[in-house]
Chain A
Amino acid sequence: QVTLRESGPALVKPTQTLTLTCTFSGFSLSTSGMCVSWVRQPPGKALEWLALIDWDDDKYYSTSLKTRLTISKDTSKNQVVLTMTNMDPVDTATYYCARSGIYGVTRGAFDIWGQGTMVTVSS
């Protein structure tokens, strides 16, 4: 069974750096074609893709946020970490990690999602 679970602080102050961890099981991020992304959703708003890391350690970022984001992986721990610097109240959102592949017709679709973690940015 494939599962992903996000963890991190529920509350951060403006200007602080947010660090979120996605711990997964049931698949390996060293398997060719495997990818993990971070997606966020402000309260009552739409989904926004943030960053992706693939099995080959290639990293991709949202154009609008790339200067603030860093994604990394620890294959031995089955974890993907996202850091976001200079947090602002507009970054208040539920943050999800999700799995996708890079091959075939499903390649960009997120077939498995974590349950999400709510992050509030407030002083």
Chain B
Amino acid sequence: EAGVTQFPSHSVIEKGQTVTLRCDPISGHDNLYWYRRVMGKEIKFLLHFVKESKQDESGMPNNRFLAERTGGTYSTLKVQPAELEDSGVYFCASSLRGANTEAFFGQGTRLTVV
């Protein structure tokens, strides 16, 4: 069974450009999460989908970030326009029944804004 897949693995963009990160969760997992790790700091929660609905988006930094989950399957996280402080590793995770069960993580997308 395929795990959580994230694309791209790396992205380098210029300040002001737009980047879209994609996450394919494990098939059948209704819960999908986005997290971010800025260099040297802790991994921080961004948002949580249950199927196609946003359950909790309290961690989204600002309105330059837009997350979608089409049809309750894959999810995208768009940053527009990107700023230098958006650099970091973006992780996606999925779980069957919520975060108090095992969350399976993707390998992350390393975003560098220059």
A binds B: no
Interfacial residues, chain A to chain B (CB-CB below 8 A): none
Interfacial residues, chain B to chain A (CB-CB below 8 A): none
